[in-house]
Amino acid sequence: MLHNLPFDIRRLHQAYASGVEPTQVIAEVYRRIDEVDDPGIFLHLLERETVLKRAKKLSSFDLAGSPLWGVPFAIKDNIDVNGLATTAACPEFSYIANEDAFVVELLLRAGAILIGKTNLDQFATGLVGTRTPFPAPKNALDPDIIPGGSSSGSAIAVSLGLVSFSLGTDTAGSGRVPAALNGIVGFKPTLGTLSNAGVVPACRTLDTVSIFSQLVDDAAVVLNVVAKFDAADSYARQFEKSPISLPPPHLIVGVPNNETIKFFGDNHQRESFEMTINELGTLGAEIVEIDFTPFYEVADLLYGGPWVAERYSVLEDFETNHPGSLHPVTRQVINAAEGISAVDTFRGFYQLQDLKRNVAPIIDEVDLICVPTIPSFCTVADSEADPVGANSQLGTYTNFVNLMDFCGIAVPVSNRKDGRPGNVTLLGKAGHDGLVIAVARELQYKCRGGLGACSWQLPDKQKLLPSPANHEIALTVVGAHMSGLPLNHELTQLGARFLYASKTAPKYRLYSLAEAHPIRPCLVRDESGSSIAIEVWAMPSKRFGEFIKGIPQPLGIGTLDLENNEQVKGFICESCATKNAEDVTNHGGWRNYLHSISTLTGSIDGGRICQHNL
């Protein structure tokens, strides 16, 4: 009956609403696990009867109080569950946890049902997924291809449809590389968004729990549950939670330029990436090419700099007391730290800071960066022949991300021409998780790639109802603060997010204040006026005062009437400013007016000087 039921959260909840019982879903989970018959996926699979008992104990179906009600999930076996062993894929390291990891506790409270703990590259050190003393899991799509790591089992369990979502961890790409290799979504939040309490560290300063799912929507739902500040985690950071929203209609997206992009001879991967960039363009993105050399230099620091010593600090005592217990490649990687001095460590810190300062102007010029999640595919044979080299190649576009304090999401796109899954990663500045999720959601539906190893189709795209959260104020912008224009960063730097594009009621006139730099509009109420194109953004209330402090005369904030009969706070202008200003109402909006200027001068595009290479 449930053999073909997709396990994405929305369709699973629809099944529950129609009368399906959680025990039936759990029975189907174990049927699928038996059918797959891969002993390398789970290191600890909970007893079927134990999970069925937990399913029976769920309260009545209530998504308001339990947004993950009846949703099966798995976690990587470096994350604690009360009463279960945590091995980090090292039997000698194993211990019985006496409490749930912070994120696991939140998931269980939300009604999710834990199925088991999954395999990984030992101590989360690797991107290949085969550095484990246990049987290595098989790639869900092609057993000749490596499964990807270090969160191998978690990604495969989702790709095969055994669970709705899973948790991994991500320090160097462990939450993104296996997503790409198994055709699913891999979301790496901003560092500190999710608590690491109850997680075996790899590099404490760079670690984060990550989320695997088949749909971007599901990653967003899970994030909303687990993104809670944990004062017990010294590296936790507080970010306001907001519902998933639409992406801005105009974005500046940076991509590696032709001179520095790397595919290691994989032309199918190159073609797939180029096609995806074209699709981003159809979604309103302006593509800007970036010299990626400094990003590669940052990436080299992760294993060629002092952060290897941070990994060593976790395992030094254990290795001393348990010689020979580490996987040979894990030991080779970590023991390289023995030659790193305190002086080397500080030199590494300084080098990273210099590189971050050098690329800051590039990052400030774009809203997002888009890269291939992996530069090429790697076979099991390739990895066995050169385990370190293969791993390094897989980390080309992932190793720098946490060092740069980016958030990122690996999203499935159209399959490559050879049938392998396409996948790109969208990277955003710290705290811009909502933006990368919003764009990834649109891209997944635009490209309509596969859902892992399952034959299911994407569900109908759920219509979003954009509105400000309780901690936000809706703000209407009419000119240079609109998406893709020169002052939009004044919104995004304060945590504002796009809600929707609309028009004013037909009673406003729009003027150009030519003396302003950049040139700015002046919106004045006039009953003989017209409807003017606007954008509505949600601004965190606590940052609103900071924003309006910088608004110069003759501009101000008032209440605007929109064509949908809503009244929203937004930019207005003193009528005296129109005396020497140009009336541009007939253009219907600021962006159209700027386009008319660019047609005449060829030098301005949307208020931004054309710049296609940074």
Active-site residue list: 76, 150, 174
d(CA 571, CA 369): 30
Q: Radius of gyration over alpha carbons of the chain, in Å?
A: 25
What separation, in Å, do the N-terminal and C-terminal C-alpha atoms of the chain show?
Answer: 55
Burial class (CB in 10 A: 0-12, 13-18, 19+), 160: buried
Run of H or E residues at 450: none
Which is nearest to 74 in space by CA: 162, 140, 147? 162
- The number of beta carbons lying within 10 Å of the beta carbon of residue 95 is 11
Count each helix (H run) and each strand (E run) in the chain, helices first: 18, 23
Burial class (CB in 10 A: 0-12, 13-18, 19+), 601: exposed
Which tokens hold the place of 573? 């202008």
The string of DSSP letters for 157-226 reads HHHTTSSSEEEEEESSSTTTHHHHHTTSEEEEPPTTSS--TTB--SSTTT-EEEEEESSHHHHHHHHHHH
Distances (CA, A) of 544 to 199, 468, 473, 494, 538: 37, 13, 8, 8, 10
Run of H or E residues at 609: strand 608-609
Which tokens hold the place of 442? 């649109």
Helix 293-304 crosses helix 342-364 at what angle (to 10 degrees)? 150
Distances (CA, A) of 82 to 85, 151, 169: 8, 21, 19
